[in-house]
Structure 1
Amino acid sequence: MTAAHGRTGRPPLTEERKSAIRLAIARSAVDLFVAHGVSATTGEQIGQAAGVSARTVWRYFPTKESCVRPLFSSGIDTITTALRHWPPGRPLQEAFDHVWTTQATLPGPDVGALLRLMRTEPGLRAVWLQTHDEAEPAFASALAERANLPSDDVRPALWAAMLNAALRAAVEHHAYQKSGPSADPTASRAELAANLRTALAVTEAGIN
């Protein structure tokens, strides 16, 4: 009689667990980059701080600079969903009302520290710009769907570019005004939300 051979080893990770690992690596990378600089930080150090092996770090990210990407890209899906649910004839800011009241959807102090650091770290700047560049097609698709426009219409692409640039400028402006961690995180987030509302108002003037 032949014994049945079942699957051995660890069960596969869920997408939720994979996302948690990516975020832990990202936050550990930020802390080390801010404390020691990018060039002085190794993948082994990032992994140790995140509680994973260096091999795991490189499995999820091709470079140490790209480790921070989850912190940059976390809001893209939120913005895209908000655009798809933006009712015609209603203010753009209204579609984002829930964003300002949800702690996790606004960039946190770790993103602010990264943006300040990337002024002297071109590798981090490249990751930030690439993330925004890849966001534009998602924004354009959502805006085209909202306006019932065909995929080859140039207007959604132009609207998406305006929105993307305005949101990026608002976040950078907020980060650059802060020389370090805010003594009052609640006030800091309120200031950021105000900057983003201004960005939406400026963009809406060009869309409608």
Structure 2
Amino acid sequence: MAREATPDDRTAAEPVTRPSLGERRRTALRLDIAREAVRLFTSQGVTGTTGEQIAQAVGISARTLWRHFPTKESCVLPLLAAGLDAAMEQLRHWPPHTGLLDFLERSWSHGTLPAPDPAVLDLIRMTPAEPALRSVWLQAHDDALPVLGALLAHRSGRSPEDLRVKVHAATLNGALRAAAEDFAQRFGDAPGTAAGELTACLRTALRAASEGLPY
């Protein structure tokens, strides 16, 4: 049986080592590719967009593009991953002895939550009608799951392989995804004027997750 964490154990995760200059440049290029891919997908459709067009919009060769991504749809993954990374970074500041909803309510009231990215909202809104993009969106959340699990395991003093930790991580992950999808579909046209609605979506989703299964 996993031991219960002590107050000293329940601290934020250790800071990540700063990436090298080469890694930062690679990340920046991948984000540029992702943003151009979303712009083209939005303006001319996924079917009507080629990898070569994405590469030309970024100013790189198609060969360079395919070194980074196996398909044109996968080009958007870094943008989705960046949004999830921002959410994970927010959770790393979750203080001990504070409930998740209390922490997020405090973050909302102090305006410390990141503003929604219009490009990400455009992308999420396309996923219901574009199976390949939907697959990438789900992959981004699947990739984030072990990170979230490690964070919850560190906080609780349990193993990341503990079934309760896995269920809690999956529940929180699913709540964040559902809230993002709901907000994107209802308010994606005006993210700046509906920032309060994003808070409401997150609050509703997380409260539902914290209630468990009432069925």
The DSSP-based 3-state class of the residue aligned with 1:55 is helix
- Decide whether aligned partners of structure 1 residues 153 and 68 sit closer, same or farther in structure 2, where only a CA change above 3 A counts: same
Answer with 1 or 2: which has the greater Rg: 1
Identify the match of residue 24 of structure 1 among 11, 15, 32.
Answer: 32
The DSSP-based 3-state class of the residue aligned with 1:128 is helix
Q: How does 1:52-71 map to 2 (within 5 A)?
A: 52-71=60-79
Residue 134, structure 1, aligned to residue 135, structure 2? no
Unpaired segments ≥5 residues, structure 1: 1-11
Q: Identity of paired residues, percent?
A: 49
Which whole-Å CA distance do the structure 1 matches of 2:130 and 2:27 have between them? 25
How many aligned residue pairs are there? 191
Residues 25 and 67 in structure 1, CA contact (< 8 A), matched pair in contact too: yes
Asked which structure has the greater RCO (Cα within 8 Å, sep 6+), the reply is: 2
Q: What's the TM-score once normalised by structure 1's chain length?
A: 0.81
Q: RMSD of the TM alignment (CA)?
A: 2.4
Identify the match of residue 37 of structure 1 among 45, 48, 58.
Answer: 45
Q: How does 1:11-160 map to 2 (within 5 A)?
A: 14-96=22-104, 101=111, 105-160=114-169
The DSSP-based 3-state class of the residue aligned with 2:194 is helix
The DSSP-based 3-state class of the residue aligned with 1:75 is helix
Residues 159 and 165 in structure 2, CA contact (< 8 A), matched pair in contact too: no
Residue 187, structure 1, aligned to residue 196, structure 2? no
Instruction: After the TM superposition, list the runs of 4 or more consecutive aligned residues in structure 1 that deviate by more than 6 angstroms.
Output: none
Q: Cα distance, 1:31 vs. partner?
A: 0.8
- Decide whether aligned partners of structure 1 residues 122 and 188 sit closer, same or farther in structure 2, where only a CA change above 3 A counts: same
Q: Cα distance, 1:95 vs. partner?
A: 4.3
Q: What's the TM-score once normalised by structure 2's chain length?
A: 0.78
Counterpart for residue 5 of structure 1: none
Q: Deviations over 1:14-66 (max 9, x none)?
A: 11111111111101000111111111111111011112221121111111000
Which whole-Å CA distance do the structure 2 matches of 1:73 and 1:106 have between them? 15
- Decide whether aligned partners of structure 1 residues 89 and 205 sit closer, same or farther in structure 2, where only a CA change above 3 A counts: farther
Which whole-Å CA distance do the structure 2 matches of 1:101 and 1:61 have between them? 35
Q: Deviations over 1:109-157 (max 9, x none)?
A: 1111112212211000000011112211211111011000123321110
Q: Cα distance, 1:163 vs. partner?
A: 0.3
The DSSP-based 3-state class of the residue aligned with 1:143 is helix
Residues 86 and 92 in structure 1, CA contact (< 8 A), matched pair in contact too: yes
Unpaired segments ≥5 residues, structure 2: 1-19
The DSSP-based 3-state class of the residue aligned with 2:56 is helix
Q: Cα distance, 1:84 vs. partner?
A: 4.2
Q: Cα distance, 1:102 vs. partner?
A: 5.2
Residues 84 and 146 in structure 1, CA contact (< 8 A), matched pair in contact too: no
Q: Deviations over 1:66-93 (max 9, x none)?
A: 0000111113333334444423321214
- Decide whether aligned partners of structure 1 residues 152 and 111 sit closer, same or farther in structure 2, where only a CA change above 3 A counts: closer
Which whole-Å CA distance do the structure 2 matches of 1:102 and 1:38 have between them? 34
